[in-house]
Amino acid sequence: MLKFLSFRLFSALLTILFALTIAFCLGHISGNPVFNMLGPTAPKAQIHLLEHQLGLDKSFIQQYFSYLSNLFHGQLGNSIQFESSNVSMISTRLPNTLELLALAMMIAISIGGPLGIIAALKRNSIWDRLASGAALVGQSVPIFWLGIMVILVFSVHLRLFPAGQKNGFSSFVLPAVCLALLPMAQIARLMRATISEVFEEPYIDAAKARGLSTKRIVFGHALRNASLPVITIISLQIGSLLSGAIAVEYVFGWPGVGTLAVNAIQFHDYTLIQAIVVIGVLGFVFINFCVDVLYGIIDPRIRDATK
Amino acid sequence: MTISFETNNSDLLLAKSKNKKWYKTAIFWISAPLILITLTCVFASLLPLSDPNNLDLSSTVLPPFFMHGGSMTHPLGTSNLGQDLLSELIFGGRTTIFIGLVGMLGGALPGILLGLVAGFSRGIVDTVIARLIDAQLSLPFILVALAVIASRGHSVGVILTVLALTTWPFFARVIRSEALSLRERPFVMSLRSAGVTRTRILLKHILPNLFGTVVVLSTLGIGAAILIESAIDFLGLGVTAPGLSWGSILASGQSQIGTAWWIAAWPGIMISVFVLLVNLLGDELISRFDPRYRNR
Amino acid sequence: MSLLEIKGLTVDAATSTGQQRIIDDIHLSIGKGEIIGIVGESGSGKTTLARALVGLLDKNLRVSAGECSFDDEVIISDKVDLANTIRGKKIGMVFQDAGRSLNPLMKVKAQIKEVLRVNRPEITKEDIKAVMHEILQRMEIDDPDRVLNSFPHQLSGGQRQRVAIAIAIVTSPSLVIADECTTALDVTTQAEVVHLLRELVRDGKTSLLFITHDLLLASELCDRVMVMYASEAVEIGPVSDVLEMPNHPYTKALIASVPSWDVTGPLKGIPGSAPKIGLENVGCNFADRCSYSEPGCFAENVSWTSTSQISGFRCRIPLRKLSSDDIQN
C-alpha cells in the first residue's frame, strides 16, 4: 500500500510540474503580454518599466526558475489591477467557488448515480429512454446559455429563485443546478453503461445462484464494481466543472474565483491570471491524487499491480 | 416498481436486422439535418439573405415573426443594432462550424499520433507522454484560454490553438489505451516474431483497427469543440464584433436579455441542436463500430 | 420419493430469426444422494436446463411448458417461478469458470460470510468463523486463514475452484448443480474436483447434478446419466448400461468418438453438425446425422420410451433388441 501511495504521489508531483510548466510556456511564448496591457502606443520607458517590474526582461530560463521558486515560497505576485496580493484576492473568493463546486458535485452524484442505476436495471424501458435522452441533451447544451435561460425563466418570470449575487441558500440553487447538469448527465450515462456491463459478469449470476436478493446484489456487488470507472470520470469532470464554474459564476454574478478570472482577462491582469491558473492546477492534481488513492482502496487489484 | 435483471441476450429481441434500407437508418436521419445546416451555413453568401452587417437603426430589437410586432422580413427578429438575426445566425454558423471542425482536427491529429506512439512504444516514451496527457488534462480549457489570450489577444488563431491544446489529450488517452491493448494481442506478436517492422505494424494493422474509435472520437470532438468555442466567444475572449459566431451573438444578446430575450435564445438553440445531433451521431456510430456496445 | 422432479420441461427462445426451442420435453427425477450426469455437446441445451431449474434463464428465454418440482413443491413452470426461495438455500450451483464467479473486489471470507448470513441466518457470528474453516478444510485447502483473507486474484485457479464449490455447499443444500465446472481445468485439477464432489455426495445428504460434455468423466462420477442432443433427452439410464449397451445411435456415436489408447486409426467423429430447433420441427432431431435412419425417422416426431423407472430413450429403432416385457410405458 505504501509503495502504491508513494508512486501515486510521485506521479502527482510530476504532473504538477509538467502542468505548471505548460502554463508558464503558454503565457510566455505567445508574445509579450505587456503590449496587451499597455497598448502598442505606450512610450518605451513605460514598457521597460513594466517589463522590469514583472521580471520579463530576464531570459526565458531565468524567468522560469524564478517562477518556480516564487511558487515554492507561496508567492504568486501582485495583481496589476488592484495592487494587492494575488493570493489574498484569490483566497477571499475561493470559498465561494468551492462551495458552489461542492454543491454541484453532490447534486450530480446523488441524482445522476441513481438515475443511471435505474436506467440500467430497466433497460430499454421508457425510464431508460427518458434518462438517456435527458443525459444526451444535458451534454449538448452550452452551460452559459442554460444559465441565461434559467435566470430568465426561474428568476425573472417565475420569480422562484434569486440570481445575481450570493445571498442565502436559495441563491445557491440555480447556479449549482446549472453547473451540475452536465456532470449529472455524464455520470448517469456512464453508470448505466457500467452497471449493465457488470451485470453481464459471471459473479453476478453466481450471486443470484447463491440466493442473494436483487437489492443486495445491486448495492453490495454491482455498485462496488461499477463505481470504479465512475470515479475516474468524476476526476475528469472536476476539470470541466471548473470551466463551467467560470461561466456560471459570470452569468449569475457569483463572487467567486471565476468572475475574478473573467475580470482579470478584461483588464489584462496578467499576473492574476497566472496566479489563478496555478491555483487551479494545484487543486486538480490534488483532487486527482485523492481519486487515485480512492481507486486503490476500492480495487485491490490496482494496489497489487507491480507498476 | 419491479426491477428485473436483463442480460446481454435480451437484446437479441431488439436486434435490428442488418439489411435495412439506407434511408431508414438512424445514421441517415441524424446526419441529414446536420449536413443541411452545415451546407446552409457554408453557402450563406449565396442565399437571399440580408447582409448581417447591415445596420438598420430604424428597426432595432424587433421580435421574431410569431410575436407581436414581428414580421416575416426579419423572421427571427433583429439585434440591438438592427441586424437581421436569421442572417446573423447563418453567417455566424459558418464561423462556428468551421472553428469546430478545424479545432477538432487540430486536437485529433496530434492526439492520435501521440497516443499511438505512447501506446505502442511503451517504456520511457509512454511514461512521458502519459504524464503530459495528465498534465494537460489537469488544465481546464478555460485556464488554458485565459493563459494564451492574456498574452496573445483575441483572434480565430488563438481559439484554434486553445482548442487544439485542450482536446488533444482526450484523443491521445483513448487511442493510447487502445493501442496498448492491441499491442498485446496475439496477432501483433505473431507479426513481430515474423519480423515485420514496428512502423509497418502501426500503420497497416493497428491503425485500421482503430478506425472506428477515431471516427467516433472525431464526431464527439466536433461537438465538444463547438461548445468550448462558444464559451470562449461568450466570455468575450474569442470572436468579437464585427466577427460573427453563435457564441458572440449569444454574448451580445446577454445584455438585452430583459427586453429582447430572443437574441440570446436563437444562437443557444442552434448550438444545442447542432451539438445534440453530433452527439447522437457519435452514439450511433459507437453502436455500429464497437461490438461491445452493440447491445447498449 | 424424489428430491427434484422435472416433468416435460420445455424452454423456448425469442431470437432475431424467430422462435427457437432450446429444451424440449425433458423428464427427469433426481433422488436423495443420487449423482446424475447430463451429457451433451454445446448447444444441446444442458446449461439452459441447469439455469431453468434455478430460475436464472436469460430474459429472452421462457418456460413454455412443463414443470419442475423440488421436495414435491412446484417451483418452476410456465406460470410459476419460485426458484428464488430455494436458490442458495436448498440448491447450490457451481459454475464453469469458478474464478470469475467470485467478486474480484471482495475478500473470500466476505463472500462466504454473505452467503451464510443470507441463507442461514440462524448461524451466529461466533460460529461463522468455525463454519468457514470447516468448509475450507473439507475442500482440502491447506491454509484456510490465508485463503479467507485473500482476494480472488491472489489465489491459484485450483484454489478459486475450491472456494467456489465451498460457497455452493456451505449452506448444506440438498442438491448441488455443477455446470461444466471441470471443463476449463487441466486434467489434474479436474481429477481433484471430481474427487471433492464425490466426497460431498458420499455423506448421503447431497444430490449432485453434474453437467458435462465429457462422457467418460460422467461415467466415472455418476450413478445415472442423461444424454441430450439438440434440445431433447435422447437416452437416460444407469451409467454402466448406457455406456455398454446404448439404445440411441447418438449415444453410441458419442461413445465411439472418445479416443482410447488401444485403438489406432482416424478419430471417429459424427458427420454434420447439431441443428437449431424451431418450434415446428418434425421428425427426429438426429435423423440427418444418424447411420441407421429410415424415412420414417424424418416424418414423425419420436416419443419417449421408458424401459424402467429410471431409464428410457427416444428412438424409433433402438439399437438393443427389445423384448416386449422390457418396455414399460
Residue A122: predicted pLDDT:
79
C105 contacts A224? CB cut-off 8 A: yes
Distance between A212 CA and the closest CA of chain C, angstroms: 7
* Residue B149 CB contacts under 8 Å (≥ 6 apart), including other chains: A265, B158, B162, B237
Of A240-244, B151-155, C266-270, give the lowest mean pLDDT range: B151-155
Percent over 70 (pLDDT), chain A: 85
Residue C95: predicted pLDDT:
87
Q: What are the b/e assignments for C117-132, b being 16+ CB within 10 Å?
A: ebbbeebeeeebeebb
Sign, Cα dihedral of B266, B268, B271, B275: negative
Distance between A184 CA and the closest CA of chain C, angstroms: 26
By Cβ distance, the residue of C54, C104, C105 closest to A209 is C54
**CA dist., res. B137 & res. B168, Å (int):** 9
Residue A211: predicted pLDDT:
84
**CA dist., res. C40 & res. C231, Å (int):** 10
Sign, Cα dihedral of C291, C293, C295, C298: negative
Of A179-188, A201-210, A267-276, B146-155, give the lowest mean pLDDT range: B146-155
A144 contacts B250? CB cut-off 8 A: yes
* Chain B residues touching A26 at Cβ < 8 A: 144, 147-148, 151, 165
* Type of residue numbered B95: T
Neighbours of C196 (CB within 10 A): 17
**CA dist., res. B185 & res. B205, Å (int):** 11
Distance between B3 CA and the closest CA of chain C, angstroms: 13
* Residue B41 CB contacts under 8 Å (≥ 6 apart), including other chains: B90, B91, B93, B94, B96, B97
| Beta-carbon pairs below 8 A across chains A and B | 189
Residue C139: predicted pLDDT:
86
Residue in B10, C209, C99, C184 with CA at minimum distance from that of residue A203 = C99
The enclosing H or E element of C3 equals strand C2-15
Distance between A203 CA and the closest CA of chain C, angstroms: 4
Position A30 pLDDT exceeds 60: no
Cell of C143: 491454509
Q: Using 50, 70 and 90 to split pLDDT, how confident is the model at A107?
A: very high
Rounded to 5 degrees, what angle do the CA atoms C108, C112, C117 make?
145
Residue A32: predicted pLDDT:
59
**CA dist., res. B239 & res. C95, Å (int):** 62
Report yes or no: B23 at the C interface, CB cutoff 8 Å.
no
* Residue C303 CB contacts under 8 Å (≥ 6 apart), including other chains: C314
Helical segments of chain B, H only: 26-42, 85-121, 123-137, 141-152, 156-183, 186-193, 198-201, 207-209, 211-234, 246-255, 261-289
Distance between A55 CA and the closest CA of chain B, angstroms: 15
B272 contacts A145? CB cut-off 8 A: yes
By Cβ distance, the residue of A151, A236, A277 closest to B143 is A277
Q: CB burial class (10 A; 0-12, 13-18, 19+) of residue A298?
A: middle
The predicted model gives C264-272 an average pLDDT of 76
**CA dist., res. C178 & res. C94, Å (int):** 5
Cell of C234: 435422447
Q: Using 50, 70 and 90 to split pLDDT, how confident is the model at A57?
A: low
The predicted model gives C158-162 an average pLDDT of 87
B6 contacts C59? CB cut-off 8 A: yes
Say how many residues make up chain A: 307
Residue A294: predicted pLDDT:
82
* Chain C residues touching A298 at Cβ < 8 A: 105
- DSSP, collapsed to helix, strand or coil, labels residue A151 as helix
Residue B123 Cα distances to B116, B180, B207, angstroms: 13, 11, 20
Residue B274: predicted pLDDT:
93
* Chain B residues touching A289 at Cβ < 8 A: none
- DSSP, collapsed to helix, strand or coil, labels residue B119 as helix
B151 contacts A19? CB cut-off 8 A: no
Chains contacting C with at least 3 CB pairs below 8 Å? A, B
Mean pLDDT of all residues belonging to chain A:
78
Enumerate the β-bridge partners of residue C236. Answer: C226, C312
Residue in B233, B112, B89 with CA at minimum distance from that of residue B168 = B112
Give the residue with greater pLDDT, B70 vs A276.
A276
C87 contacts A210? CB cut-off 8 A: yes
Report yes or no: B281 at the A interface, CB cutoff 8 Å.
no
B17 contacts C60? CB cut-off 8 A: no
* Chain A residues touching C89 at Cβ < 8 A: 211
* Residue B122 CB contacts under 8 Å (≥ 6 apart), including other chains: B180, B183
Of A285-289, B143-147, C176-180, give the lowest mean pLDDT range: B143-147
C60 contacts B15? CB cut-off 8 A: no
Neighbours of C261 (CB within 10 A): 5
Neighbours of B196 (CB within 10 A): 14
Give the residue with greater pLDDT, A148 vs A228.
A148
3-state secondary structure B125-160: HHHHHHHHHHHHHCCCHHHHHHHHHHHHCCCHHHHH
By Cβ distance, the residue of B6, B147, B268 closest to A26 is B147
Report yes or no: B157 at the A interface, CB cutoff 8 Å.
no
C59 contacts B10? CB cut-off 8 A: yes
Farthest-apart Cα atoms in chain B, separation: 78
Percent over 90 (pLDDT), chain C: 11
| C-beta of residue C30 within 8 angstroms of C-beta of residue C4 | yes
**CA dist., res. C69 & res. C89, Å (int):** 15
Q: CB burial class (10 A; 0-12, 13-18, 19+) of residue C294?
A: exposed
Residue B272: predicted pLDDT:
93
Neighbours of B291 (CB within 10 A): 9
Of A110-114, A169-173, B49-53, B104-108, give the lowest mean pLDDT range: B49-53
Neighbours of A144 (CB within 10 A): 27
Report yes or no: B2 at the C interface, CB cutoff 8 Å.
no
The enclosing H or E element of C228 equals strand C224-229
By Cβ distance, the residue of B4, B7, B13 closest to C14 is B13
Report yes or no: B232 at the A interface, CB cutoff 8 Å.
no
Of A23-32, A209-218, B69-78, B204-213, give the lowest mean pLDDT range: A23-32
Rounded to 5 degrees, what angle do the CA atoms C240, C245, C246 make?
100
Residue in A292, A247, A237, A260 with CA at minimum distance from that of residue A108 = A237
Residue C206: predicted pLDDT:
87
Residue B271: predicted pLDDT:
93
Find the helix packing angle between C125-138 and C157-169, rounded to 10°. Answer: 130
pLDDT digits (tens, 9 = 90+) for C52-108: 998 888 888 889 889 999 988 888 888 888 888 888 888 888 888 777 788 888 889
**B 242-281: CB under 8 A from C:** none
Half-sphere exposure at residue C152, Cβ-oriented, CA atoms within 13 angstroms: 21
The enclosing H or E element of C299 equals helix C295-299
Residue B288 Cα distances to A105, B29, C50, angstroms: 33, 15, 34
**Whether the bond into C295 is cis, omega within 30 of 0:** no
**CA dist., res. A160 & res. C268, Å (int):** 81
pLDDT digits (tens, 9 = 90+) for C277-320: 777 778 888 888 888 878 888 888 888 888 887 888 888 888 77
* Chain C residues touching A206 at Cβ < 8 A: 93, 95, 101-102, 164, 167
- DSSP, collapsed to helix, strand or coil, labels residue B65 as coil
What is the distance between the terminal CA atoms of chain B, rounded to a whole angstrom? 22
**CA dist., res. B171 & res. C272, Å (int):** 48
What is the distance between the terminal CA atoms of chain C, rounded to a whole angstrom? 20
Q: From first to last of its 296 residues, what are the pLDDT tens digits of chain B?
A: 334 343 333 333 333 444 456 666 777 888 888 888 888 888 877 777 767 666 766 667 777 777 777 777 777 777 777 777 888 888 888 889 999 999 999 999 999 989 888 887 777 888 888 888 877 776 767 667 766 766 666 777 878 888 898 889 889 988 888 887 777 777 877 887 887 777 777 777 777 778 878 888 888 889 989 998 888 888 777 777 677 888 888 888 887 777 778 888 888 999 999 999 998 888 888 777 665 543 33
DSSP state of A85: B
Give the residue with greater pLDDT, A79 vs C12.
C12
Distance between A285 CA and the closest CA of chain C, angstroms: 26
* Chain B residues touching A234 at Cβ < 8 A: none
Neighbours of A45 (CB within 10 A): 8
Q: Using 50, 70 and 90 to split pLDDT, how confident is the model at C209?
A: very high
* Interface-testing mutation among A197, A198, A205, A210, with chain C (most C C-beta atoms within 10 A): A210
Domains and CATH numbers, chain C: 2-90+173-261+268-274 (3.40.50.300), 101-172 (no CATH)
**CA dist., res. C190 & res. B149, Å (int):** 68
Neighbours of C150 (CB within 10 A): 18
Report yes or no: B19 at the C interface, CB cutoff 8 Å.
no
C59 contacts B17? CB cut-off 8 A: no
pLDDT digits (tens, 9 = 90+) for C101-152: 888 888 899 999 888 888 888 888 888 889 899 888 888 888 889 999 998 8
Residue C37: predicted pLDDT:
93
Residue B152: predicted pLDDT:
65
| C-beta of residue B266 within 8 angstroms of C-beta of residue B85 | yes
B165 contacts A262? CB cut-off 8 A: no
* Chain C residues touching B10 at Cβ < 8 A: 58-60
Rounded to 5 degrees, what angle do the CA atoms B286, B290, B295 make?
85
Cell of C176: 448441488
Q: Using 50, 70 and 90 to split pLDDT, how confident is the model at A128?
A: confident
Interface of C with B (CB under 8 A): 13-16, 58-61
By Cβ distance, the residue of A202, A209, A300 closest to C87 is A209
Interface of A with C (CB under 8 A): 201-203, 205-213, 216, 220-221, 224-225, 298-301, 304
Give the residue with greater pLDDT, A2 vs B171.
B171
Half-sphere exposure at residue C37, Cβ-oriented, CA atoms within 13 angstroms: 29
Residue in C105, C151, C108, C156 with CA at minimum distance from that of residue C132 = C108
Cell of B287: 453502436
Q: Which residue of A has its CA nearest to C86?
A: A211
Give the residue with greater pLDDT, A198 vs B57.
A198
